[in-house]
Amino acid sequence: MEYVNPLTGFRLDGRRPNEMRQIRGEIGVVAKADGSALFEMGNTKVIAAVYGPREVRNKGQQINNQALVRCEYGMANFSTGDRRRKPKGDRRSTEISLVIRQTMEACILTHLMPHSQIDIFVQVLQADGGTRSACINAATLALADAGIPMRDIVTSCSAGYLCSTPLLDLNYVEDSAGGPDVTVGILAKMDKVTLLQMDAKLPMDIFENVMQLAIEGCKAVAHYIREVLLEHTKQLECHRGA
C-alpha cells in the first residue's frame, strides 16, 4: 500500500512527511477536577483530569518524603472503529498507565508534597493513532491547570518509517501498517528525553533521523502548549482583575 505517494510526496491524509496533524488544547473542561484538559491531535481526542495533591487513600502506599503519583488510562467503548469489550484492565491499558505515570513522575517536583497523592486520570474519547502522546500532552496541561509544581513541561510525539520516508505523527492507518513506531517524550526547555519507545526493526542511522523528527514534533507541541497556558493565564488575570 502506498503510504507516501511517490509522485507528489503526500501521505494518505494529504500531509507531508514532516507535518503534524492539527493540535488543539483546552483547559478546564472538568468542573470538579483540580486540573483538567482536553487535547486533540487530528482525530485523536483525549481528556485528562488531575486530582491532587490530596490525602493518600491507601495508607500502606504512602511515601514519607514525596508525593505518590497514580495514573489510570481508559478508552471509551466507542473510541475505536469496532466497539471494545474491555475498556480498562486489559494489558495495553495497564502498560500505557504505567508509561504515563513514570513519564509524569519524572517532571513533577514530588518532594515538595510529602504524604500526599496526585491522581492523573486519562480518558480516550476517540482514538486515531498517537493516543499515548496525546495522553501525555493532555496530562501536562491538566497538571499545569492544577497548579502542581513541575520541573518543565513534558510533551510527546510519535514518528515512523514507511516507504523509505520518516513520517511524523502517525495516524491509525499508518500505525497499523507494520512499520516501526517511535514515541518520544521530552522535557521541552531542558531538552532531555524522558520517554522513548520503539517497536519493529530499524537500522541505527535511520533510527537517529526518525527520533530527531519526533523530537522536533515534541518541540512544536511544547510551543503550542506554552501559548495555550499563557492565554489561559491572561484570562484568569482578567477575571481576577475585574
Partner 1 sequence: MESSEGTGGLSGEIEVEAYRRLFPLPFYERHLLESVRPDARPLNRARDTTIALGPVASADGSALVKIGDTTMLAAIKLEVMTPSTDAPDEGSLAIEFQMPPICSPSVRPGRPAEVASVISKQLSDVMMSSEMINLKELSLISGKAAWMAYLDIYCLSADGCLFDAALLSAIAAFSHLQIPLVSVNDDGRVIAVFGELPEAKLKLELVNKEKRKLSLGSKPFSLTCILHEEYILADPNAEEESIMDTFVTVVLDSLGQLVSIYKPGGAALANMSTIKACIALTKSRVKELNNILSESLSEMEVD
CB 210 within 8 A of CB 158: no
Options 4-12, 80-88, 99-107, 222-230: segment touching partner 1 (CB under 8 A)? 80-88
- Out of 126, 165, 197, 209, name the contact with partner 1 by CB under 8 A: 126
CB 35 within 8 A of CB 143: yes
Q: Is 24 in the site for partner 1 (CB under 8 A)?
A: no
Q: Nearest-CA neighbor of 19 among 159, 174, 139, 143?
A: 159
> In whole angstroms, what is the distance from residue 242 CA to residue 233 CA?
14
Report residue 195 as a C-alpha cell. 520517554
- Out of 116, 117, 123, 140, name the contact with partner 1 by CB under 8 A: 123
Our CB check for partner 1 shows the closer of 31 and 204 to be 31
> In whole angstroms, what is the distance from residue 97 CA to residue 100 CA?
5
- Out of 20, 48, 144, 202, name the contact with partner 1 by CB under 8 A: 48
CB of 166 to partner 1, least distance (A): 28
Our CB check for partner 1 shows the closer of 79 and 156 to be 79
> In whole angstroms, what is the distance from residue 155 CA to residue 28 CA?
19
> In whole angstroms, what is the distance from residue 98 CA to residue 196 CA?
14
Encoded one letter per residue, x for contact with partner 1 by CB under 8 A and - for no contact, window 208-237 reads ------------------------------
> In whole angstroms, what is the distance from residue 61 CA to residue 49 CA?
22
CB of 107 to partner 1, least distance (A): 21
> In whole angstroms, what is the distance from residue 207 CA to residue 30 CA?
39
- Out of 43, 66, 102, 209, name the contact with partner 1 by CB under 8 A: 43
Interface residues toward partner 1, by CB under 8 A: 29-33, 36, 43, 47-49, 51, 54, 57, 70, 72, 74, 76-81, 83, 119, 121-123, 125-126
